[in-house]
Structure 1
């Protein structure tokens, strides 16, 4: 059963480039006829690597190094696809348990399971996890050390008792996470090493919506995910008036992130004291961008100037139209006296995902 849970996702986490992750994310949902009931996604460093659902039944891959792996491990890959699809039966069983024990009686639940293993290629240390979610909320987590389950939701207590009692299943989970999962992780590292260890520097820009808005230091196109971005004043990192955003994936497998600086309180002569710093793990030189008005990209000036002119013109025209209409109306009334040419008409006017 555990073989059916493999989805190949590598995440080179963190400042320690010797730790690698393989992770699976599969989803079960029967709430819409236009969405596959069951799907599995695989990512590498946050990049979509393959996707498979119950309708197509054939994994779609996005990188040449995955295709090379498939050529040399065709039988294993085909077996993997079948096992991934077959696992939906286990998730359906879990769905029944979740419904029964969590008290949910209406609507189609969304069941998500994420599992993964970690391997340190220097210490050979192995770790792993299994986490279930119910309707977007963390529900229950497998503890590899004790081979028992930890409740993440009060409604998961009954399920914990049931799953803790299934010792054979828990032993299977531990074996999979520490043996089979790590085996696949090492295979993927072999084929994807050049991709996973590359260092791509980003383009960094200063952005601002309006003169009173924060200045955003935006870095995009960097790889891997382990990076930092921050504002400095006189060479020292600052936190006051700074808002750091999350690291987000780009469609091409790279990443982006940004950090805002509140500038209205900064005097113009002090702008030269500030700069934005981007640091990428494994790269010695930082990317430093000075805070300069001429370096800021914005469409405010052009857009707002046009807007102000337009508003002024429209306002002037409106006043003129009102005056003309009033004058014409007065003349018409005087000329036509009490005729019904000013009667009101009663006829009304006619009348763009993911995995």
Structure 2
């Protein structure tokens, strides 16, 4: 379960490869060997916000946003429930197939697919992503520029050869990404416009457990998710001795992030250090100067419980995404497509071949 929780945090911390106005993403995950976790899950996200969910325990596609529940009728949920149940059976078989490919028997294993598209409503630019993973590592991904597959492991080569030679599959996917996905993305954005396009200003605090500890710039309560937090020394961006954490959900629809600076007290007292936050909700950057009066410490009744509480709230969302692995190493990213939703109809494509 500990590993599963880590997977959930990884999911929440993943951003799209480049900045866009809107994105639609479906994550399919089949698991084995993880107790108290559904063997199959689908999470749909619009602009990084979960909006639909299915797992092998509830066995029904359900809304995760009020605007989605109000906008779609019974036919939508029945149709996507039926598709999800089919994918559930496929993924259970895929786990066993993948284990044979890698000569594995027991243990914890995961098969994942992330499928999605993005659309810039200002420029009209679009992109798409289809990528598969096994046990948290890349398995195979589609290069949309060449419409061929990239196989980073030898076990995926037979699958690559099969899919590269299948013109019918390529045509179907090209049509999907250039039409259906973008159309569905636009529809969902129109449903949730008041939520997805809102902005909430971040709150920024400097925290330190004790004088010998790193100084943490804690930024919380912001929306949308994309944010830039940097440290500056004498007005110049500082990259060394800086550790930026993942962007995590707070549980109330907003996000938080921390950036730690390791610096000696005498150094920051002799120089000008500041934490600078850039966000869509701000007309001007927030810059908090690193000086004693701006630092909260344990001795001063530092509310570290706030951070712990935020993480706990994030984990409360595990019911939505726990167990989903989004691998971050060697990601192919988005390839520019023409202009496309999945309605959960593509997860059956991961078929590792011995």
Deviation (angstroms), 1:269: 4.3
Aligned residues of 1:277 and 1:286 also touching (Cα < 8 A): yes
Cα deviation per residue 1:277-312 (whole Å; 9 max; x = unaligned)? 111036321112122213222214779xxxxxxxxx
Q: State how far apart, in whole Å, the 1-side matches of 2:188 and 2:33 are.
A: 34
Cα deviation per residue 1:242-270 (whole Å; 9 max; x = unaligned)? 33333233222322112222332534742
Partner of 2:141: 141
The question of 1:297 aligning with 2:296 is answered: yes
TM-score for the superposition, normalised by structure 2? 0.73
The question of 1:57 aligning with 2:59 is answered: yes
TM-score for the superposition, normalised by structure 1? 0.73
Q: State how far apart, in whole Å, the 1-side matches of 2:47 and 2:249 are.
A: 9
Deviation (angstroms), 1:177: 2.0
- The secondary structure found in structure 2 opposite 1:124 is coil
Deviation (angstroms), 1:142: 1.8
Deviation (angstroms), 1:132: 1.0
- The secondary structure found in structure 1 opposite 2:109 is coil
Cα deviation per residue 1:78-112 (whole Å; 9 max; x = unaligned)? 31232123222333454354234333344463211
Partner of 1:66: 68
Q: How does 1:250-265 map to 2 (within 5 A)?
A: 250-264=250-264
Partner of 2:184: 184
Aligned residues of 1:13 and 1:20 also touching (Cα < 8 A): no
Deviation (angstroms), 1:24: 0.5
- The secondary structure found in structure 2 opposite 1:110 is strand
**For structure 2, which runs of at least 5 residues remain unmatched after alignment?**
1-11, 303-317, 323-354
- The secondary structure found in structure 1 opposite 2:32 is coil
- The secondary structure found in structure 1 opposite 2:192 is helix
Q: How does 1:93-242 map to 2 (within 5 A)?
A: 93-107=93-107, 109-242=109-242
Deviation (angstroms), 1:33: 6.1
Q: State how far apart, in whole Å, the 2-side matches of 1:196 and 1:290 are.
A: 32
Partner of 1:310: none
Report the RMSD for the aligned CA atoms in angstroms.
Answer: 2.8
Q: State how far apart, in whole Å, the 1-side matches of 2:270 and 2:145 are.
A: 54
Partner of 1:24: 26
Cα deviation per residue 1:323-352 (whole Å; 9 max; x = unaligned)? xxxxxxxxxxxxxxxxxxxxxxxxxxxxxx
Change (3 A) 1:41 1:242: same
- The secondary structure found in structure 1 opposite 2:145 is coil
Q: State how far apart, in whole Å, the 2-side matches of 1:28 and 1:89 are.
A: 10
Change (3 A) 1:136 1:233: closer
Partner of 1:40: 42
- The secondary structure found in structure 1 opposite 2:230 is strand
Mean Cα deviation higher: 210-219 or 228-237: 228-237
Q: State how far apart, in whole Å, the 2-side matches of 1:128 and 1:136 are.
A: 21
Cα deviation per residue 1:16-61 (whole Å; 9 max; x = unaligned)? 55x3211101111232563322111123343333321122123343
Deviation (angstroms), 1:189: 1.0
Deviation (angstroms), 1:217: 1.0
Partner of 1:326: none
Deviation (angstroms), 1:76: 2.6
- The secondary structure found in structure 2 opposite 1:25 is strand
- The secondary structure found in structure 1 opposite 2:266 is coil
Q: State how far apart, in whole Å, the 2-side matches of 1:54 and 1:27 are.
A: 11
Deviation (angstroms), 1:15: 7.7
Partner of 1:330: none
Q: Number of residue pairs matched?
A: 293
- The secondary structure found in structure 1 opposite 2:210 is coil
Cα deviation per residue 1:106-142 (whole Å; 9 max; x = unaligned)? 4463211111112233443332121111111111112
